[in-house]
């Protein structure tokens, strides 16, 4: 029996993933108050001259900059370019990362052989490869697609490998004892057990791909939202700069939240993890 606890706890989530009413209300009230309060402080601090408007702009100015930008053809072209790079890079990362992850998880020896390189690549700040990527793919969209791919690929592949490798042996034994073929074993046991891991990877990969796109565009590009930020910063237009940053923030929040919802759907059959017994 669990009775309302007075101790520090994560938001109490029920089986269906709903928050308790206290948490829902608290989050709404405090969260909104925090955001609105911050915006007001920023705005009036800036107007009163306490905050340097030249450096930090202010909410209404950023909003005004946004209104101006969305009417410009140039802005939409930047959005289109960044979106293309993101989708292509992320898509390729999924297309390569998931199957390769499944294979690597399934074949122990392949895993052993790739392990040193995966470990090395994963510990490496991969953006360090940018200079050679520019040499190889040029300054157009292909270099950004490759950077986005590089950012997301391992983030997707590594959880997938873990998913396959952590399939409970007992389930494999059950399937094997009923004479399941390898293919059936894979479809009925390994795949369902791995799906939540893959989706976790997809969620982690989204952020990495976005970071890849923007880093690539900041360093060497002639269009895209990262280049938009660079132009704004070169001309010291912090309102336009922050407007572009907010676009990334909202895109990130929406994509991550969407994948979190999908993750939750696929995890519904899992029992809630006992707190405290974390590996």
Partner 1 sequence: MTTALAARRGHPTPARPFFRRRPSERLVFGVLGFAGVLILWEAVSRLELVRQAVLSRPTAIVSAAVTDATNGVIWPHIAISGTEYVLGFGAALAVGIPLGLAIGMFRRLNWLVDPWLSAIYATPTVAIVPLIIIVLGIGLETKIFVVFLEAIFVVTVSTMAGVHAADAVYHDVAESFRASGWTRFKTVILPASVPYILTGARLGTGRALVGVVIAEFLASNQGIGFYISFNGALLRSDRVYFGIILLGVLGVVLGEAMRVLERRFERWRPAIN
Partner 2 sequence: MTSNGLALRATGVRFSYVDQATRDNLLAIERIDLEIPEGQFVAIVGPSGCGKSTFVKIVNGLLPDYEGEIDVMERSGQGTAHAMVFQDAALFPWYTVLNNVSYGLRCRGVPAKAAHERAMPYIKLVGLAGFEQKYPYQLSGGMQQRANLARALTVDPEILLMDEPFAALDAQTRELMQAELLRIWDEADKTVLFITHQIDEAIYLADRVLVMSARPGRILADIPVDLPRPRELRIKRTPEFTALADRIWELISPQLHDQDVPA
Window 109 to 168, contacts with partner 1 (CB under 8 A): 109, 112-117, 119-121, 123-125, 127-132, 134-136
- CA 53 – CA 239 distance, rounded (Å): 9
d(CA 266, CA 224): 35
Name the segment binding partner 1 (CB under 8 A); options: 65-73, 79-87, 95-103, 106-114.
106-114
Residue (of 138, 140, 268) closest to 199 by Cα position = 268
Find, among 99, 79, 96, 93, the residue nearest to 205 by Cα. Answer: 93
Binding residue for partner 2, selected from 8, 10, 14, 49, defined by CB under 8 A: 14
Rule CB under 8 A: say whether 192 interacts with partner 2. Answer: no
- The window from 20-28, 44-52, 73-81, 178-186 that contacts partner 2 (CB under 8 A) reads 20-28
- What does the per-residue mask of binding to partner 1 show for 189-208, with x meaning CB under 8 A? ------------------x-
Cα 195 to Cα 191: distance, rounded to the nearest angstrom: 6
| 3-state secondary structure string across 220-231 | CCCCCHHHHHHH
Interface with partner 2 (CB under 8 A), residue total 9
Q: With CB cut-offs between 5 and 8 Å by kind, which of partner 2, partner 1, none does residue 131 bind?
A: partner 1
Residue placing its CB nearer to partner 2 in the complex, 12 or 207: 12
For residue 238, the minimal CB distance to partner 1 (Å) is: 6
Residues that bind partner 2 in the complex, under the rule CB under 8 A: 1, 3-4, 12, 14, 18, 20-22
């Amino acid at each position: 029996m669990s009775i309302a606890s007075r101790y520090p706890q994560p938001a109490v989530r029920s089986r269906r993933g709903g928050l308790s009413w206290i948490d829902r209300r608290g989050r709404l009230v405090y969260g909104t108050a925090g955001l609105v309060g911050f915006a007001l402080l920023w705005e009036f601090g800036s107007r009163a001259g306490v905050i340097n408007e030249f450096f930090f702009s202010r909410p209404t100015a950023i909003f005004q900059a946004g209104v101006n930008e969305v009417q410009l053809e140039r802005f939409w072209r930047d959005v289109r370019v960044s979106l293309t790079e993101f989708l292509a890079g992320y898509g390729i990362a999924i297309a390569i990362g998931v199957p390769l992850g499944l294979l690597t998880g399934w074949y122990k020896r392949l895993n052993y052989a790739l392990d040193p390189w995966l470990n090395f690549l994963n510990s490496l700040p991969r953006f360090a490869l940018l200079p050679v990527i520019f040499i190889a793919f040029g300054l157009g969209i292909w270099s950004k697609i490759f950077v986005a791919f590089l950012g997301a690929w391992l983030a997707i592949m590594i959880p997938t490998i873990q998913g396959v490798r952590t399939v409970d042996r007992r389930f494999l034994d059950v399937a094997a004892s009923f004479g399941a073929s390898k293919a059936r074993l894979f479809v009925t046991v390994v795949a369902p057990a791995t799906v939540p891991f893959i989706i976790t990877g997809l969620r982690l990969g989204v952020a990495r791909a976005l970071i890849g796109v923007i880093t690539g565009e900041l360093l060497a590009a002639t269009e895209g939202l990262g280049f938009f930020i660079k132009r704004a910063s070169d001309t010291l237009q912090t309102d336009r700069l922050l407007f572009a940053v907010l676009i990334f923030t909202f895109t990130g929040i929406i994509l991550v939240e969407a994948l979190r919802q999908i993750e939750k759907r696929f995890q519904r059959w899992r029992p809630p993890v006992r707190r405290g017994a974390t590996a």
